[in-house]
Amino acid sequence: MDKIRVIRFEYGDAFFNMALDEAIMRAVGGGMSPPTLRIYGWDPPAVSVGYFQELKEEIDLEFCHDRKIQMVRRLSGGGAVLHTPKELTYSFSVRVDDPLVPQDVQGSYMKICAPIVSALRKLGVEANFRPINDIEVARRKVSGSAQTRRFGAVLQHGTILLGMDYSLLPALKTRPEKLAEKGVRDVRDRITTIGELLRREVKQSEFEDLLIRSFAAHFQASVEETKLCGMEELIPALEERYKSAEWTFRR
């Protein structure tokens, strides 16, 4: 891999965010674009559910409606995630046959999470990869990722909790099987943010530079910054699909 295309941090709404990730993935898989790292944020706040999840089992619809939290179904599997404007989300798309990313799914998670772990360590937190798809600091989750493999590409996207608006956590239904008891306190024992660990605010712009450098170093690639994904014309139709009730409530 000699070149990584980088799309720098911008806020988007849930539907645009998922549409752009898919457009990038299609462009990369179709050979129209080199491996692409995109860094972005969510505004307004949103919850995303995994491709196989039953939405109403995971999300408090009434709370989301009252607090104007968007709901979107991802192309990737995995669990429900609350996205607030203080977090940073990344997506990395690479051709499925690119030799720098292992064919086996577990190995590829580790490979793509490695630059994130390095960037977090540069910031000063003792981050570790925890299989299958998490990054933890002192046993508390600071980042979770999910993959989908379609259109000739692997797309891995994930959150990095620089900060978090905990007041929106009730958007996710916490299950007794997953947490000891219901309630925000228990979630806060399982997850933390970089801001809390470092006792200062970490802005997206600060972490973004570390992350880009780390991806370039890990994949021994040069960085080409761009605002284009190679398949811009797909975005409006993809946004419509991600907005549709048919897609959102398909499970």
Provide the binding-site residues for other proteins, judged by CB under 8 A: 50-54, 57, 75-80, 105-106, 131-132, 146-150, 175, 177-178, 251
Residue closer to other proteins by CB (options 11, 249) is: 249
Rounded to a whole number of angstroms, the minimum distance from the CB of residue 219 to other proteins is 22
Burial letters for 99-119: b for 16+ Cβ neighbours within 10 Å, e otherwise? eebeeeeeebbebbbbbbbbb
Residue closer to other proteins by CB (options 70, 147) is: 147
- Return the structure tokens found at 185: 């306190």
Residue closer to other proteins by CB (options 107, 236) is: 107
- Looking at the DSSP assignment, which residues form a beta bridge with residue 36? 5, 93
Residue closer to other proteins by CB (options 84, 148) is: 148
Q: Is 73 helix (H, G, I), strand (E, B) or coil?
A: strand
Residue closer to other proteins by CB (options 80, 127) is: 80
The span from the CA of 94 to the CA of 100, in Å, is 9
Rounded to a whole number of angstroms, the minimum distance from the CB of residue 120 to other proteins is 21
The span from the CA of 33 to the CA of 10, in Å, is 20
Per the CB < 8 A criterion, the answer to whether 113 and 145 are in contact is yes
Rounded to a whole number of angstroms, the minimum distance from the CB of residue 75 to other proteins is 8
Rounded to a whole number of angstroms, the minimum distance from the CB of residue 65 to other proteins is 22
- Looking at the DSSP assignment, which residues form a beta bridge with residue 72? 48
Chain centroid, CA 204 distance in Å: 14
Rounded to a whole number of angstroms, the minimum distance from the CB of residue 250 to other proteins is 10
